[in-house]
Chain A
Amino acid sequence: MQTNLKVIGDTKKSFVTGNEAVTWAALAAGAEMMFGYPITPQNEVMHYWTRLAPKYGRGFLQTEDEISAGFTVCGAVQAGTKAFTATAGPGNVLMQEPFGMAEAMRLPLFAVIQQRGGPSSGTVIYSQQEVTLTTYGGNGEGHRIVYSTATHQEIYDYTIKGFNVAWKYRFPTFLLGDGYQAKMREPLEMYDPQERGIEIVPTYPLIGLDGHIGENREPQHLCNIYSLEEELYEVVMRFAEEYESISPELVEYREEQCDDADIIILSHGVVSRAADDAVKALRAQGIKAGSFRPITLRPFPQAQLREAIAKSGAKKILIAESAYGQLDRLTKQEIYGETIKIENLFKPGVGIIDYDIVSKVKSIL
C-alpha cells in the first residue's frame, strides 16, 4: 500500500477528543489499515479514521463483528501491514479470541480499548472494568503489553509507542483508555514522531514473502495449535521467558510525593488525575499523602511499587478505581508478601474525583 507518512508537519496545539487523538497518532505512527466495528465509546476513532485515512493512502474495513475485526487485524499484520482496531466492553470480550491468537502466534497487533461500564452491555459511558480482561483475558497467560493512559497527550504518545512496541516485541499491545478520555476534549500537542527523534519500528511480513519457494526460500507454516503437551509447553515457556526478560525495559509508572508519604494512593488511568489532585489537597491539610500510578498494567511495575512502599514507610495504600477491585487484585498478586495495609475505594462504572479520595483518606487515617 502506498502510504503518505507525513501527517503532522510542524508541531501543533489542538483541542480534541481522545478518540481523535488516537486517530491522529495512528496516522502519524504510519498505521496502514484499521478494521473496526461500531461500539460506544470508541466510535469516533473510526469516524475520524474514515475521514482522514483516504487522504493519507490508508485503508479501512468495517467488519461484521468484533471477532472479525480482531481476526482481520491478525491477517493483515501477518501480511506485514501495520493494522489496528479499537473497541470497548462487549466488543473487548469478543476480541479476546483474536487477541489470544495474536498472543499464541506473536502477532504485532495493536488495539485501543475505551472502557465502558459492565458487566454485559453495562453503560456506554465509562469504567475501569476492563482491566482484568485486557491484561489477562483469553485462555492464555496474559503475555500482553497494556498501557493505561490518563491524558490526551498520553493517548497520542502511547498510541505511537504502542505500534512500535507491538512491532518490536511482537506481543499484542493495548492502549487502555475509557469513555471519559474517549469523549472529552482537552489540549493536545500533535507532533511528527520522527521529528522528535522517535524511530518508527519497521514492519515486515510473516507470510507472503519475496522469492521462489524451493529455490531461494522455504514456505512459512505459522501455527497456534500443537499435537503434544510438551510442544505447547516449550512454546509457552519460551514466551514467558521472553516476556519476563523484556519486562524491565517496558515497565512505566509515575509516582508523586511518595518519599515521606504516610499513605500511598494507588490508581491508574484517568483516576490518577484525581489522585494527584487529592495528594495536593491532603498535603495542604497537613496529611502526608503520595500517589503511585502504574502506566503499564502489564507488565506491572511491581519492583517500583515495592520500593515506594519501602522508602516511604507508608502504613497504608488506598487503591482507588472505577471497578470493584480489578486493579486491587492485580496489585495484590504483584506485591505478594508486603504487609502494608491495603484499603480501597471501589466505584464500579462511576467516575472518581479528588473529593472522593480526600474523604476516603481522612476516614481511614
Chain B
Amino acid sequence: MITPAVPKSWYLPSKPHKFCPGCGHGIVLKALGETIDELEIQDNTIFGCDIGCSLLSWDFFACDSTQTHHGRTTPVMVGIKRARPELITIGYMGDGGGYSIGSQHLLNAAVRNEKVTLILVNNTNYGMTGGQMAPTTLPGQKTETTPYGRDPELTGYPTRGPEFLAELTPDSAYIARATVSKYKQLKRFLRNALRNQIEGNGFSFVEVLSTCPTNWRTNAQQTWRFLEDEMEPYFPVGELKSPFGKGGDK
C-alpha cells in the first residue's frame, strides 16, 4: 500500500497551514493525521484546540473540531468524553495552556484518569503572544519577559510535565515525551496515546518538544541545535508510563 503524502484526515481547504516557517506544529499535526488515518478514527474523533499557536490547528483536520479557551481544552474534552464515551477526544495545547493557566485541569484530569488523549507542544515560550517566558523556558533563555535570560532564582526551573503526570496517574495511563526531531518515535507515541483511549484504559498524554524559530530568533541550523542540544537534555524523550509495556507497542 502506498501511503499518501497528505493524510486523509487533513482538511484540505485549510492548507497550506498557518504556522510560521520552521515551526514544529506542522510535524506534530502530520504525525497525528497519519495516526488518525491508520487507526481509522476520523469519523468519531473530536479534536479540541487551546488558544495560542495551537489554535491555528482548529480547522486543520477533517474531523469534528472545537475551539476552547486558553488552558481550558482539558475540561472541554473531559466533558465531551464523559458525555459520549464512544468518541475519541484529542486535546491539543501548548506549554502555557497546559502547564501554566490550565495546570490544575491537567493535573486533576490525570488524577481522575480521564480517558482523553492530550497532546502538549513544548516550544519553551508563548509563541502567539510574541515570545514570553513559558513554564518550560530553559534557565538562561531569553524571552520577551526574561530579556536577560530566565533566572531560576526568580522564576523557578522549567516544568517537566510528563514526569509529574507520571507520578499522579495509575498504571493504565499512558505518559510520554516525544520530539519533532524523531518522527517515527513521535508517531509511535501518538499511536499509543490514542490506542490507550480507544481501549478505554485511561488518561493519555504526550508532550512533544517542538521548534519556534520566529521567537527564538534562530536560523534553521540554530533551531535544530537548540531543540536537540538544549531542550532534549533537559526534557528527556521517551515513554514514562505505558500499559503496553516495552516493545508491546509495535
* A79, B87: Cα distance in complex, Å: 9
Residues of B within 8 A of A126 (CB): none
Residues of B within 8 A of A73 (CB): 79
B80 and A75 contacting across the interface, CB-CB below 8 Å: yes
- Does residue B219 face the partner (Cβ distance < 8 Å to A)? no
- Does residue B68 face the partner (Cβ distance < 8 Å to A)? yes
Min CB gap A33→B, angstroms: 6
A212 and B83 contacting across the interface, CB-CB below 8 Å: no
B69 and A101 contacting across the interface, CB-CB below 8 Å: yes
B66 and A222 contacting across the interface, CB-CB below 8 Å: yes
Binds B, one of A64-72, A142-150, A334-342: A64-72
Which residues B123-147 have CB closer than 8 A to chain A? none
By beta carbon, the residue of chain B nearest A219 is B62
B65 and A222 contacting across the interface, CB-CB below 8 Å: yes
Residue of A79, A105, A221 touching B79 (CB-CB under 8 A): A79
- Does residue B61 face the partner (Cβ distance < 8 Å to A)? yes
* A80, B79: Cα distance in complex, Å: 11
Residues of B within 8 A of A98 (CB): 69, 72
- Does residue A28 face the partner (Cβ distance < 8 Å to B)? no
By beta carbon, the residue of chain A nearest B66 is A222
Known: A1-B83, A76-B80, A83-B79. A68 touches B62 (CB 8 A): no
Binds B, one of A157-165, A203-211, A243-251: A203-211
Known: A207-B46, A207-B65. A221 touches B82 (CB 8 A): no
B66 and A207 contacting across the interface, CB-CB below 8 Å: yes
* A35, B80: Cα distance in complex, Å: 12
Residues of B within 8 A of A2 (CB): none
* A52, B69: Cα distance in complex, Å: 33
- Does residue B151 face the partner (Cβ distance < 8 Å to A)? no
Min CB gap B88→A, angstroms: 10
- Does residue B104 face the partner (Cβ distance < 8 Å to A)? yes
Residues of B within 8 A of A207 (CB): 46, 64-66, 80
Residue of B11, B63, B76 touching A75 (CB-CB under 8 A): B76
Encoded as 1 (CB less than 8 Å from any B CB) or 0, chain A from 102 to 121 comes to 00010000000000000000
B80 and A78 contacting across the interface, CB-CB below 8 Å: yes
- Does residue B78 face the partner (Cβ distance < 8 Å to A)? yes
A220 and B65 contacting across the interface, CB-CB below 8 Å: yes
Known: A80-B83, A97-B69, A208-B87. A72 touches B75 (CB 8 A): yes
Known: A97-B72, A225-B67. A64 touches B105 (CB 8 A): yes
Residues of B within 8 A of A101 (CB): 68-69, 72
* A173, B129: Cα distance in complex, Å: 33
Encoded as 1 (CB less than 8 Å from any B CB) or 0, chain A from 307 to 330 comes to 000000000000000000000000
B79 and A35 contacting across the interface, CB-CB below 8 Å: yes
* A225, B42: Cα distance in complex, Å: 24
A225 and B80 contacting across the interface, CB-CB below 8 Å: no
Min CB gap B168→A, angstroms: 12
Min CB gap B33→A, angstroms: 13
Residue of B55, B66, B105 touching A68 (CB-CB under 8 A): B105
Residues of A within 8 A of B55 (CB): 225
A64 and B108 contacting across the interface, CB-CB below 8 Å: yes
B84 and A80 contacting across the interface, CB-CB below 8 Å: yes
B78 and A72 contacting across the interface, CB-CB below 8 Å: yes
- Does residue A286 face the partner (Cβ distance < 8 Å to B)? no
- Does residue A192 face the partner (Cβ distance < 8 Å to B)? no
B75 and A219 contacting across the interface, CB-CB below 8 Å: no
Residues of B within 8 A of A76 (CB): 79-80, 82-83
A75 and B105 contacting across the interface, CB-CB below 8 Å: no
- Does residue A223 face the partner (Cβ distance < 8 Å to B)? yes
* A340, B239: Cα distance in complex, Å: 72
- Does residue A153 face the partner (Cβ distance < 8 Å to B)? no
B104 and A64 contacting across the interface, CB-CB below 8 Å: yes
- Does residue A188 face the partner (Cβ distance < 8 Å to B)? no
* A67, B72: Cα distance in complex, Å: 8
* A49, B130: Cα distance in complex, Å: 46
A225 and B51 contacting across the interface, CB-CB below 8 Å: yes
* A97, B71: Cα distance in complex, Å: 11
Residues of A within 8 A of B76 (CB): 71-72, 74-75, 78
By beta carbon, the residue of chain A nearest B64 is A207
- Does residue A214 face the partner (Cβ distance < 8 Å to B)? yes
- Does residue B59 face the partner (Cβ distance < 8 Å to A)? yes
- Does residue B44 face the partner (Cβ distance < 8 Å to A)? yes
Min CB gap A165→B, angstroms: 20
Min CB gap B92→A, angstroms: 14
- Does residue A351 face the partner (Cβ distance < 8 Å to B)? no
Known: A101-B69, A211-B43, A225-B55. A61 touches B63 (CB 8 A): no
Residues of B within 8 A of A (CB): 8, 11, 42-44, 46, 48, 51, 55, 58-59, 61-69, 72, 74-84, 87, 104-105, 107-108
- Using A32-B83, A219-B64, A220-B65 as known contacts, list a sample of 10 further A-B pairs with CB atoms less than 8 Å apart, ordered by residue number in A: A64-B107, A67-B75, A67-B105, A71-B68, A75-B76, A75-B78, A76-B79, A78-B66, A79-B87, A101-B69
Residues of A within 8 A of B (CB): 1, 32-33, 35, 59, 61, 63-65, 67-68, 71-81, 83, 97-98, 101, 105, 205, 207-209, 211-214, 219-225
CB-based closest 10 A-B pairs? A75-B79, A72-B79, A81-B83, A64-B108, A71-B75, A76-B83, A207-B64, A75-B76, A68-B75, A75-B80
12 contacts between A and B (CB under 8 A): A64-B104, A68-B104, A71-B72, A75-B77, A75-B78, A75-B79, A78-B76, A79-B80, A97-B69, A208-B87, A213-B63, A219-B64
